[in-house]
Amino acid sequence: MTTVETDPAWLPDEALRGVGTRRVCVRGEGLLVDTVRAEVGRACHKFGGSDDADDAACDLLLKVVAGGDEGPEGFTVTRTARRTTLTAAAPAGLLHGFFHLVRIGEAAFTQGPDETHRPALALRMLDHWDNVDVHPVMGQVERGYAGGSLFWRDGRARGDLSRIRAYARLLASCGINALAVNNVNVHASETRLLTERFTEVAAIAAELRPYGIRTHLSVNFAAPLLLGDLDTADPLDEGVRAWWREAADRVYALVPDFGGFVVKADSEGQPGPFAYGRSHADGANLLAGALARHGGTVHWRAFVYDHRQDWRDRSTDRARAAYDHFAPLDGQFADNVILQVKHGPMDFQVREPVSPVIGALPRTRVAVELQATQEYTGQQRHVCALAPMWSEVLAFRPEGEGGPTVGQLVAGGGLVAVANVGDDPFWTGHPLAQANLYSYGRLAWDPTADADQLLDEWAELTFTPDLTGDPERLRSGLRAVLHGSWATYEKYTAPLGVGFMVQPGHHYGPSVDGYEYSTWGTYHFADRDGIGVDRSRATGTGYAGQYAKPWADTYERVESCPDELLLFFHHVPYGHVLHSGKTVVQHIYDTHFEGVEEVEAAREVWAALADLVSPARHTRVAELYEEQLRCAREWRDQINSYFLRKSGVPDAHGRRIY
């Protein structure tokens, strides 16, 4: 594939022209104010403005005003005919406000009403699943599709960390304020990052800090056993408690603004409190006690289930597991514990219901976990803009109409995404996958933001240097390839919420029965009579009953279950008629043909933009569209052939199915 210098993503120099042509004053003290001052200086040097004007002469004034009511990260913009003034109560607000002005460009300098902006969620975090050493199975970055780690190389922190500073700048510009630097599956080398190797974490934190990004570390629950002289990791053992307190003290001595620990425990083979007969609350509160006096937080992941299931046992349901484990513990977690819950009950599928756990823990701080890295949505080889999916999740009301949205319920916990960035020059491998990272940050700041508008916003910034030729044709083309891409991907992959059907292990490409008889509990139960998982209360696993009554009743009955989730909740005949009027099997045939046709059309749209887009970016995307089309055809042919043979029902339109 084509290689390029590091891509500026949504912060090309041209995006800063609006600021850089002004007479600007920056007033305030502190590291983040210095960052704003440096950003302004660079923009003015590039575009001929002035970064040392006095207050009376400047036409852009950015200042920290103590005692303001914007909160620690909010800001107010006042636009008069003579001057634009941005005020913030704290340096972090000034930084976010500066990037807001960059986003809106010339509109920042036209007269208008005062606007105050505050983040809806205090925590807006990325989890990097990066390994210090190259793991024999997982590689350098587990579920990473953009090259090696930004942070680690050859078994240690990278010697040149300058690219991390550039990455922090990108993250701050879209609202992200926290980051975990290593895999939640904590191996031997990563375990030692907590102790004698923490200086490497401190060096990374120093690069993230100027842009307001707090550093977090994934830790091994069994660390006292592996690193200390203890013979137990029992969370109620006083020696274990003392060990964690001492470890936290050492961490904060080196990084006073350290964010806290991320923990995957008693999940997929990772150690945890179950070994000692203790609960998840016991385990989380152990670490919370060690961090509390430093202001740190424990992110305890709720991705806990039995991964040694028997496909013949239809009473065990992986979807039920998180609720069954954690709902009884509501109210037992310390105040500085955040329970990190995947947005769906399974594993980041292209279509899942919203996890019932999110609405079941009113006395627990909950963060919703999304997956920006496209493990099950094309692995950054396919265009699949995820903002519309995430927007649907955040707008979901677990208690039904009139109740709070997911975005409101997680205000005390926040939003977390598994990162999709590596050392690829385009950051995300696929240049258009940058839109997922950007829109995640913007939705974390404002969960009510319009997903399509965020995609347009990303495109407008990213392609600013290219919008000089035929801007409307370029904008129209970018919308055409981005806005419907999630729906397109869903069409040619797993139908009606059934999920998985992927190649085992690496999860790329189709394999209808790849996991059907595995221990992982990811079944579709297709047979000659029908397909789907019965999760009803009446005859199935009872999973539908984990929801509040309005949704429990909706999902319980085939007649009221939404088509897009039908096979997640019910096993139905192939001839079952959907609300759309089509049978299940005809829907499968039609959508898989449609999905391929839509990829073909998007490829042609992109090809027609060659004269408007920088050659390196255009070539990389064009190459990846060839792979997406190849894979979409493979999905179509394998899925349709499987269900033709299983059901014996021909395609009503007589198209070729093998």
Inform me whether the pLDDT recorded for 588 exceeds 70. Answer: yes
Q: Based on the domain organization, do 337 and 280 belong to the same domain?
A: yes
Q: Based on the domain organization, do 383 and 436 belong to the same domain?
A: yes
**Per residue in 494-552, pLDDT tens?**
999 999 999 999 999 999 999 999 999 999 999 999 999 999 999 999 999 999 999 99
Q: Based on the domain organization, do 186 and 84 belong to the same domain?
A: no
Inform me whether the pLDDT recorded for 196 exceeds 60. Answer: yes
The strand pairing partners of 77, in sequence order, are 86, 115
Here the CATH number for the domain that contains residue 83 is 3.30.379.10
Residue 326: per-residue pLDDT: 98
Residue 548: per-residue pLDDT: 98
Q: Based on the domain organization, do 109 and 130 belong to the same domain?
A: no
Catalytic residue among 347, 369, 466, 534: 347
Q: Which two tokens stand for residue 329?
A: 């513990």
SS (H, E, C) 627-643: HHHHHHHHHHHHHHHHH
Q: What share of the chain is helix, strand, coil (3-state, %, to 5)?
A: 40, 15, 45
Q: H or E stretch including 572?
A: strand 572-573
Here the CATH number for the domain that contains residue 310 is 3.20.20.80
Specify if 658 maps to a domain.
no
**Total domains, the chain:** 3
347 is catalytic: yes
Give the domain extent around 269.
Answer: 124-462
Separation CA 368–CA 228 (nearest Å): 33
Closest among 472, 432, 474 to 455, alpha carbons compared: 432
Closest among 470, 434, 474, 471 to 454, alpha carbons compared: 434
Q: Based on the domain organization, do 136 and 101 belong to the same domain?
A: no
**Per residue in 552-566, pLDDT tens?**
999 999 999 999 999
Specify if 369 maps to a domain.
yes
Residue 2: per-residue pLDDT: 45
**Euclidean distance between the first and the last CA atom of the chain, given in angstroms as a whole number:** 33
Specify if 656 maps to a domain.
no
375 is catalytic: yes
Here the CATH number for the domain that contains residue 616 is 3.90.1330.10
- What pTM value is reported for the model? 0.97
Specify if 378 maps to a domain.
yes
Specify if 481 maps to a domain.
no
**Per residue in 317-327, pLDDT tens?**
999 999 999 99
Specify if 641 maps to a domain.
yes
Catalytic residue among 190, 375, 534, 556: 375
Give the residue from 117, 139, 170 where a domain finishes.
Answer: 117
Inform me whether the pLDDT recorded for 418 exceeds 90. Answer: yes
Q: How far is CA 179 from CA 70, 420, 492, in A?
A: 24, 12, 33
Q: Which two tokens stand for residue 161?
A: 């960390």
Q: Based on the domain organization, do 26 and 131 belong to the same domain?
A: no
Catalytic residue among 196, 268, 310, 626: 268
Separation CA 72–CA 627 (nearest Å): 45
Closest among 82, 9, 19, 83 to 47, alpha carbons compared: 19
Name the pLDDT band for 55 (thresholds 50, 70, 90). confident
Q: Based on the domain organization, do 225 and 105 belong to the same domain?
A: no
Specify if 621 maps to a domain.
yes
Q: Specify the amino acid at residue 59.
A: D
Q: Based on the domain organization, do 377 and 505 belong to the same domain?
A: no
How many distinct helices (H) and strands (E) make up the chain? 20, 19
